[in-house]
Amino acid sequence: MASGQQTFMTEVARRPDGPVPSSDVARWARWLEGLIFFFLILFAILLPHSIKGARHAWMAAGFLWLAKLAIERKRPFPQALSAPLLAYIVLSGISTALSSDPYLSWPRMRVVCLVLAGVVVAQNLQRLSQVRILVFLLLLSGLAAAGFTAWQYTYGVGVQVRYVVPTADLYRARIHPGDIITHINGRSVHTPEQLSKVVMQSPPGSMLHVKYLQGEPFDKRETFLTREQFVTSGVGTPYLQLARGKPGRAQGTLRHYIVFAEMLMQLGCLAWAMLLSAQPQKWGIRTFCAIVFLALTAALMATQTRADIAGLAAGCVIALWLLGRTRTRIWAFVGMVLLLLLATLWIHHTRGLNWVSTGDSGTHFRVLMWEDGLRLVRQHPWFGVGLDAIYNHWQEWGIRGFSLYHVIYHFHSDYIQIAVERGLLTLAAWLWFVVAYVVFLVRLLRRTREHSRFATGVVAGVLAAFAGYLVPSTVQYCLGDDPLVMIMFFYFGLAVAIDRMLKTPGAVDVP
């Protein structure tokens, strides 16, 4: 507890006359409001970069908000859509209590409770200018994430082993073709020349600590070799072919191309809506939003994730329909078609896949998981088998995809995953929220048009992003990824806060 808070609580305890004077309450409330908004700013900045950092930021804001309510002796503002969200959390908790493996299920409730991040955001934004700060900081942070991706593809992340003789000591140390060496004895390497220099300048007989990346997404590994073992493996000869190492599929700082793609898709929809809603004379804002959107789209293409590219296209079309004029709609729609065509050609070139490839192992795995998931839903219809219980019981329940592809994953669909793990009642609660949320956003958009162009752009961006989420959620388990859940409910909090601001005199302070 901070020293100021300790002093305040001591002062309260020593006063014989009971409640703290209203001036002191107002002073501490203002102090807490500033601190809460600081953590919300931190939350927005960290969302595209750090899962743990973003989670800790909104939780800190939440604890401070509860302290503020206690000091002011106030209740929270009436919360829109609280009924379906409460039903979703409570039913998920009941399912977890009845789980086939509660020790696995209870930790997973942490992701379910991330929806509370939206409540914290919604309850603590008082003015539209605060929303503007958070939105532009979020987009700027997204631009930084796209810039980091560009840096990885130009400067590289290390030195990739293109070829190594299978009998070489390097190969025996489990560094194989495709792996990327990032550090030797704590020194980072990015080019074959740098790697050779570090090895050759090491003292004879010295042991080299080698850190490298393997697989996709990257799996950090390390090993040890002597200087002589490295040299005899062919450093500087055709027997060891090296090149600047770059990601096969962009992962950003979130360390997984699918999670990164989900984040980029959400940010791209918001940037596009803000671009469409910006006033024509504000060239600075329009240029900024255009640069952000193009950078995010390029980074999303680099992830080579079909479902999220389609989600971005769907969200952009919806934002365009809501905000654009007739002529603008036509040209932008043509642009979206060209984007999908370019994405099709790019994915076919890089991965050898079409949008729907029946011969793709990933598609076959999904179909197997969906079939077995529906079977489990029929066997456990009301409260499911429990969150993550499948990981310990998949052999007992005959999950064919796991045994055939030797991978333990999920059911590749939000709806099937919820139904299998938490039952049809929880699925109904989630669908209730989805429908109610869309209706809420459509009605809110009509009201914001009369008050603020900026608020209209934000709400349209939130609606577009949610529509974009609905596309990959049919073929991916998006609700299992912390970053997507946090940014989706961060948007939810912005929309609910704007709804309240429209009813509060003076709160809409941005045209």
Q: How would residue 406 be classed by pLDDT, with cut points 50, 70 and 90?
A: confident
* Cα-to-chain-centroid distance, residue 43: 12
Q: What is the pLDDT of residue 347?
A: 60
Q: What is the pLDDT of residue 60?
A: 97
| Arithmetic mean of pLDDT, 238-249 | 91
pLDDT at 355 over 80: no
- What is the span of the domain harbouring residue 10? 3-72
Q: Are residues 439 and 291 in the same domain?
A: yes
The label of the residue with tokens 């206690």 reads 70
Residue 179, classed as helix, strand or coil, is coil
CA atoms of 422 and 109, how far apart (whole Å): 11
Q: Tell me which residue of 93, 80, 81 sits closest to 425, measured CA to CA.
A: 93
Q: What is the pLDDT of residue 377?
A: 93
Q: How would residue 9 be classed by pLDDT, with cut points 50, 70 and 90?
A: very low
Asked if residue 508 belongs to a domain, the reply is: no
Q: Are residues 475 and 392 in the same domain?
A: yes
Whole-model pTM: value is 0.89
Q: Picking from 13-22, 96-105, 355-364, which range would have the lowest pLDDT averaged per residue?
A: 13-22
Q: What is the pLDDT of residue 6?
A: 47
The two tokens of residue 329 are 């709609």
Sign of CA dihedral 258, 354, 309, 152: positive
Asked if residue 510 belongs to a domain, the reply is: no
Q: What is the pLDDT of residue 93?
A: 95
Q: What is the pLDDT of residue 255?
A: 85
Q: Are residues 420 and 287 in the same domain?
A: yes
Q: Which helix (H) or strand (E) holds 338?
A: helix 326-351
Q: Are residues 432 and 312 in the same domain?
A: yes
Q: What is the pLDDT of residue 374?
A: 93
Q: Are residues 344 and 476 in the same domain?
A: yes
Q: What is the pLDDT of residues 259-299, one digit of tens each?
A: 999 999 999 999 999 999 998 888 999 999 999 999 999 99
CA atoms of 11 and 21, how far apart (whole Å): 11
CA atoms of 461 and 471, how far apart (whole Å): 16
pLDDT at 1 over 50: no
Q: What is the pLDDT of residue 235?
A: 86
Asked if residue 511 belongs to a domain, the reply is: no
Q: What is the pLDDT of residue 324?
A: 76
Q: Are residues 187 and 287 in the same domain?
A: no
Asked if residue 401 belongs to a domain, the reply is: yes
Domain boundary among 48, 72, 96: 72
Assign residue 211 the CATH number of its domain.
2.30.42.10
Q: What is the pLDDT of residue 343?
A: 62
**How many residues in the chain?**
511
Q: What is the pLDDT of residues 373-403, one digit of tens each?
A: 899 999 999 999 999 899 888 888 888 888 8
Q: Are residues 262 and 167 in the same domain?
A: no
The two tokens of residue 30 are 């203002």
Q: Picking from 59-73, 166-180, 351-365, 379-393, which range would have the lowest pLDDT averaged per residue?
A: 351-365
DSSP class per residue in 3-52 = HHHHHHHHHHHH-TT-SPPHHHHHHHHHHHHHHHHHHHHHHHHHTTT-HH
CA atoms of 504 and 497, how far apart (whole Å): 11
Share of the chain above pLDDT 70, in %: 90
Asked if residue 77 belongs to a domain, the reply is: no
pLDDT: which is higher, 13 or 192: 192
Quote the number of domains for the chain: 3
pLDDT at 496 over 70: yes
CA atoms of 322 and 327, how far apart (whole Å): 13
CA atoms of 491 and 493, how far apart (whole Å): 5
Q: Are residues 348 and 282 in the same domain?
A: yes
CA atoms of 391 and 409, how far apart (whole Å): 8
Q: Are residues 227 and 103 in the same domain?
A: no
Q: What is the pLDDT of residues 314-346, one digit of tens each?
A: 899 899 888 877 666 676 667 667 766 776 665
Q: Are residues 315 and 218 in the same domain?
A: no
pLDDT: which is higher, 109 or 339: 109
Q: Tell me which residue of 250, 196, 188 sits closest to 218, measured CA to CA.
A: 250
Share of the chain residues as helix, strand and coil, in percent rounded to the nearest 5: 65, 5, 25
Asked if residue 369 belongs to a domain, the reply is: yes
- Dihedral in degrees, nearest 10, Cα atoms 425, 427, 431, 436: 50
Determine the Cα angle at 45 with ends 441 and 261, to 5°: 70
Q: Which helix (H) or strand (E) holds 320?
A: helix 306-323
Domain boundary among 245, 276, 303: 245
Contacts 24+ apart (CB under 8 A), 205-212: 208/184, 209/183, 209/184, 209/185, 210/173, 210/175, 210/181, 210/183, 210/184, 211/181, 211/182, 211/183, 211/184, 212/158, 212/175, 212/179, 212/180, 212/181, 212/182
Q: What is the pLDDT of residue 317?
A: 87
Sign of CA dihedral 437, 440, 446, 452: negative
Q: How would residue 237 be classed by pLDDT, with cut points 50, 70 and 90?
A: confident
pLDDT at 11 over 50: no
Q: What is the pLDDT of residues 52-89, one digit of tens each?
A: 999 999 999 999 999 999 988 889 998 889 999 999 99
Q: How would residue 352 be classed by pLDDT, with cut points 50, 70 and 90?
A: low
Q: Are residues 345 and 423 in the same domain?
A: yes
Asked if residue 279 belongs to a domain, the reply is: yes
Residue 219, classed as helix, strand or coil, is strand
Domain boundary among 14, 42, 72: 72
Q: What is the pLDDT of residue 17?
A: 39
Asked if residue 23 belongs to a domain, the reply is: yes
Amino acid identity at 172: R
Q: Tell me which residue of 185, 173, 163 sits closest to 235, measured CA to CA.
A: 163
Q: Are residues 8 and 88 in the same domain?
A: no
